[in-house]
Amino acid sequence: MSKEKILITGAAGFIGSHLCDRFLRDGFHVIGMDNLLTGSLNNIQHLFSLADFEFYHHDVSRFVHVPGKLDYILHFASPASPIDYLKMPIQTLKVGSLGTHNLLGLAREKRARVLIASTSEVYGDPLVHPQTEDYWGNVNPIGPRGVYDEAKRFQEAITMAYHRYHGLETRIVRIFNTYGPRMRVDDGRVLPAFFKQAILGEALSIFGDGSQTRSFCYVDDLVEGIVRLLFSDYAEPVNLGNPQEITILNFAEEILLLVGNSASKISFHPLPVDDPKQRRPDIGLARRLLNWEPRVGRSEGLALTFEYFKAVVKP
């Protein structure tokens, strides 16, 4: 019997590459697709020798064709950090709109189930804490972050339209802050920035007074949740993240302690426009629906991630 086939867009990115690993390990034939705008072939280099992996260098904002049968599609293509989507606003909007439309059309043609990667950014700077899936968000549609927030909100809307109108099998995951090996050192997110600065003995840059909060989920936990959601029968959005909340200032102190570089200090800078003050997922739905919750504690996950950054951060 032939293996089930899964298309993973954004396959050369941080989360996408870990998803490729997982589905290959689970016995699928994996087709990876990426335009390498923010992804890196280094993340999937170890897969090219495998018979059950193939790679398409392609931008999903243009027509997507995959020959033969296709059972599942995971749409993870998108710039995902502020430094990227502020630099590439049009591409960010296009991959969330045109790219999602193309992949939903492909899923309909192939009769494949499709899982769309949304984000906690759909909640904007939330007025409800922690954030539950039925909260509609507090987003500035014309602010600098709106290109990402609204692309993802549109992505959810068109996915539900395909589900309701065409009967397409769809899944939507709202991903909260995730970390682990293969994050880009210079992607502008807080964890890679802190690790790089601490390893190099530079001051850790905190924007605002550091009282804003984030909740960090280790990538292996996220991947497990995504797999469970894909094979569930639930079509509406599901939060996946770690509800253990921490202030950015305390997080910086944890990184300094872990790296052990006493030369590093903390420096404070103006807060970016529309930067969320609080971010913490309510994962009650994921617990009930998927029997899922994070297993990797922050200290364990950070230690694993530190080993990766020690190898890739060069003086």
Tell me the CATH number at 265.
3.90.25.10
Within-domain flag for 113: yes
Within this chain, do residues 48 and 166 fall inside the same structural domain, yes or no?
A: yes
Please give the pLDDT value at position 278: 75
Please give the pLDDT value at position 262: 62
Distance (Å, whole) CA 304 – CA 123: 29
Within this chain, do residues 39 and 135 fall inside the same structural domain, yes or no?
A: yes
pTM for the full predicted model: 0.95
What six digits make up the tokens of 30?
């994996």
The per-residue pLDDT for range 102-158, each reduced to its tens digit, is 999 999 999 999 999 999 999 988 898 899 999 998 999 999 899 999 999 999 999
Task: Render the burial of 108-140: b for 16+ CB within 10 Å, e for the rest.
Answer: eebebbbbbbbbbbbbbbbeeebbebebebebe
Distance (Å, whole) CA 90 – CA 297: 37
Within this chain, do residues 221 and 123 fall inside the same structural domain, yes or no?
A: yes
Average pLDDT estimate for 246-253: 92
Within-domain flag for 28: yes
Within this chain, do residues 124 and 254 fall inside the same structural domain, yes or no?
A: no
Within this chain, do residues 111 and 239 fall inside the same structural domain, yes or no?
A: yes
Given 72, 148, 162, 218, the catalytic residue? 148
CATH code assigned at 94:
3.40.50.720
pLDDT band at 7 (very low <50, low <70, confident <90, very high): very high
Number of domain units in the chain: 2
In the chain, helix, strand, coil percent, each to 5?
40, 20, 40
Average pLDDT, the chain: 94
Within this chain, do residues 73 and 194 fall inside the same structural domain, yes or no?
A: no
Active site residue 148: yes
The per-residue pLDDT for range 19-73, each reduced to its tens digit, is 999 999 999 999 999 999 999 999 999 999 999 999 999 999 999 999 999 999 9
Within-domain flag for 72: yes
Average pLDDT estimate for 229-252: 96
Within-domain flag for 184: no
What six digits make up the tokens of 211?
């009282």
Please give the pLDDT value at position 53: 98
Within this chain, do residues 258 and 137 fall inside the same structural domain, yes or no?
A: no
Within-domain flag for 185: no
Distance (Å, whole) CA 289 – CA 233: 9
Please give the pLDDT value at position 219: 98
126 contacts 276 by C-beta, under 8 angstroms? yes
Within this chain, do residues 28 and 51 fall inside the same structural domain, yes or no?
A: yes
Residue span of the structural domain in which 136 resides: 5-179+216-243+284-290
Distance (Å, whole) CA 129 – CA 132: 8
Within this chain, do residues 197 and 92 fall inside the same structural domain, yes or no?
A: no
Within-domain flag for 38: yes
CA nearest neighbour of 84 among 175, 145, 155: 145
Please give the pLDDT value at position 315: 76
Within this chain, do residues 94 and 9 fall inside the same structural domain, yes or no?
A: yes
Within this chain, do residues 160 and 231 fall inside the same structural domain, yes or no?
A: yes
Within this chain, do residues 228 and 302 fall inside the same structural domain, yes or no?
A: no
